[in-house]
Structure 1
Amino acid sequence: MTHRLSPVGLDFAESAPLRMVFAAEVSAPPEAVYTALADDVGSWCAWFTGVSRITPTDGGKGRSVRLTGGTRFVESILAAERPEHYAYRVDETNAPGLRALLEDWRLTPVTSGTLVRWTFAADGPAPFRSMMQLSRPMLGRAFRDSMRQLDRRLVGV
C-alpha cells in the first residue's frame, strides 16, 4: 500500500532524526557524475546497487523508482545545481514506517576527480530508525560499490 510522506525541504538533510552520510572519490569529473545522477536517470539501474527501474516524471521534475526488493518511490527533485548539487525527496512509497526521506548528493572537485557525498536523511518511528542504523554498514557498502560501478561506467577504471 502506498502512503504519502512529509514534504520536507532541503534543510532536512541537516535536521533529520536519522542522518547517514557517505563519501567516496571517483575519477570522473563532477560534470560527468552530475550528468549520471540528474540527466541520465535511466542509467541508475546499471550502476546503483538495488535500483531495478527508474524513470523521470513530470517533465524531469520528479522520478519514479523501483528497488529490486519491490520497494517503490515517487520523488520530487529539490535541487539540480549543475555540477555540484542534486537532491530529491520521496513523496510516496510502499515502504512501511517511513515518514520522510530526502537524499542529498554533493559533488566536489578534487585532484583525482570528484568527491561524492551522499546524505540519506529520514524520519520514522523508533523501530524504523533503529533498523536503519543497523543497516548503515550495508548501505555504506552499497554506496561504495555503486560509486565504483559508476566510475567504471564513466571513465573505464
Structure 2
Amino acid sequence: MARRLQPVTLDFTASAPLRLVFTREMAAAPEAVYRALAEETTGWPRWFTAVASCRPAGDGRGREVRLRGGTRFRETVLAAEAPHRYAYRVDETNAPGPRALLEEWRLSPAGTGTRVRWTVAADGPVPFRLLLRVGRAGVGRAFRDAVTRLDRRLTAVERDPG
C-alpha cells in the first residue's frame, strides 16, 4: 500500500537529517548526461540496474519508478535545469520507513566531461536513518556502477552516433 511522504522542497538537500552525497567524473558531456537523466527516463533501467522501470508521469512533472525487488516511488520533479541540475522528491512509496526523500543530480563540466554529484536527502525514524547510514557503501557502489555504465553508453554513442 502506498504511503504519502512529506512534500519537501529543494532546500531539503541542505537541511535533511540524513544526506548521502556521492561524486564521480564521466567522460560524457554534461548535455548528454542531463538528457539521459531528465529526458530519457525510460532508459534508466539500461544503466541503473537497481531500477526495473522508470517512466514520466503527470505531463512530465513527475515520474513513476519501480526498483528491482518491488519498491515503488511516485515522484515530483522539482528542478529540471538543463544541463546542470535534475531533482525530484518522493511523494508516495510502498517502502517502510521514510517520512521524506529527495534526490538531486548536479552536473558540472570537468575538462571535456562531467562531474556528477548525487545527493540523497532523507528523513525518517531512527531505525530508517541508521539503515541508510549502514547501507551507505552499497548505495555508493550502486551509484558508481550506474554512472560508469551510463558513461560507457553515452561515450559509445558519441563515438558512433549512427
- TM score, norm. by length of structure 2: 0.95
Alignment of 1:116 onto 2:116: yes
Q: Distance in 1 between matches of 2:98 and 2:69?
A: 16
Q: Distance in 2 between matches of 1:5 and 1:152?
A: 35
1:81 — aligned with what?
A: 81
Shift of 1:49: 2.5
Alignment of 1:45 onto 2:39: no
SS in 1 for 2:97: coil
Q: Distance in 2 between matches of 1:49 and 1:96?
A: 21
Shift of 1:112: 4.1
Paired residue type of 2:3: H
Within 5 Å, which residues of 2 pair with 1:27-42? 27-42=27-42
Q: Distance in 2 between matches of 1:139 and 1:41?
A: 20
Q: Distance in 2 between matches of 1:151 and 1:61?
A: 26
Within 5 Å, which residues of 2 pair with 1:1-157? 1-156=1-156
Give yes or no for contact 1:26–1:112 (8 Å, CA) kept in 2: no
Give yes or no for contact 1:49–1:143 (8 Å, CA) kept in 2: no
Q: Distance in 2 between matches of 1:50 and 1:144?
A: 12
State the aligned residue count: 157
SS in 2 for 1:142: helix
Paired residue type of 2:119: T
How high is the sequence identity, in percent, across the aligned residues?
A: 61
In the alignment, structure 2 segments of 5+ residues that lack a partner are none
- Would you identify which runs of 4 or more consecutive aligned residues in structure 1 move more than 6 Å? none
Q: Distance in 1 between matches of 2:154 and 2:11?
A: 31
- TM score, norm. by length of structure 1: 0.98
SS in 1 for 2:95: coil
In the alignment, structure 1 segments of 5+ residues that lack a partner are none
SS in 2 for 1:143: helix
Paired residue type of 1:119: T
